Amino acid sequence: MLRLELVTPSGALADTSVDELRLPGTLGELGVLPGHRPLLAALRSGVLAWRCGSQETTLAIGPGFAKVGALDSVLVVTERALRADQIDLDAARRALAASQTALQQWSAPLTNADDTPDPQYAALLDALRWAEAQIGAAASATGPR
């Protein structure tokens, strides 16, 4: 078993034993099982899921980090997280559509003069990814709706 601790700025959301964990890494999905090698991974907004026996728990998470320790411990630190049963799917779909429309209409440069991302553009991308994460978590937990 893995020991999972999930933390956001508002506090701990989970501290539990799990058989398997799936994380949305910035380079692709990560699967973690007991005996996994230690690692530190950057996370993107996406679906985080764990299984304990036949019970699966699914969440939408924001960007963050995961640390897999040598003793089958996993610490996930993320900006935000919502359990699938907390997600307002209609609101997430509206947010996704609004973000897509705003990004399609974007005409300003994507970066500032110093090559940093434009903050408004970055906020739109963040909103898009968060909406996609919520929709993905809700769909994973319940199947197509």
Span 2-7, mean pLDDT? 98
Q: Are 58 and 83 in contact (CB under 8 A)?
A: yes
Q: Are residues 64 and 110 in the same domain?
A: no
Is residue 17 within 8 Å of 3, Cβ to Cβ?
yes
Do 56 and 116 lie in one domain? The reply is no
13 and 66 housed in the same domain: yes
Question: Last residue of a domain, which of 62, 83, 104?
Answer: 83
The residue-averaged pLDDT of 109-128 equals 86
Domain span at residue 109?
A: 88-142
Helix and strand tally (H, E) in the chain?
Answer: 2, 10
- Residue 133: how many other CB atoms lie within 10 Å: 26
pLDDT digits 0-9 by tens, 42-52: 999 999 999 99
Average confidence score pLDDT of the chain: 93
Strand partners, 29: 24
- Residue 145 above 60 pLDDT? no
Residues 46 and 112 in one domain: no
**Residue 23's CATH number:** 2.60.15.10
Q: Give the whole-angstrom CA distance, residue 68 versus residue 143.
A: 29
Number of structural domains in the chain: 2
Residue 144 in this model has a pLDDT that exceeds 80: no
* Burial (0-12, 13-18, 19+ Cβ within 10 Å), 74: buried
Give the integer Cα–Cα distance in Å for 15 and 33: 16
Last residue of a domain, one of 65, 83, 101: 83
Q: Are 58 and 78 part of one and the same domain? A: yes
Q: Could you tell me if 107 and 55 lie in one domain?
A: no
pLDDT at 5 (0 to 100): 98
Residue tagged 């897999």 (tokens): 68
The answer on 74 and 8 residing in a single domain is: yes
Examine the fold and report which residue of 63, 83, 103 is the final residue of a domain before the chain moves on.
83
- Residues 25-40, mean pLDDT to the nearest whole number: 96
Instruction: Note whether 38 and 96 are same-domain residues.
Output: no
Same domain, 112 and 130: yes
Give helix 89-104 / helix 119-142 axis angle, nearest 10°: 150
pLDDT for 143 equals 56
Quick one: pLDDT at residue 92? 97
Is residue 95 domain-shared with residue 78, that is, in the same domain? no
Burial class (CB in 10 A: 0-12, 13-18, 19+), 91: exposed
What is the reported pTM?
Answer: 0.87
What span, in angstroms and rounded, lies between the C-alpha atoms of 111 and 3?
Answer: 41
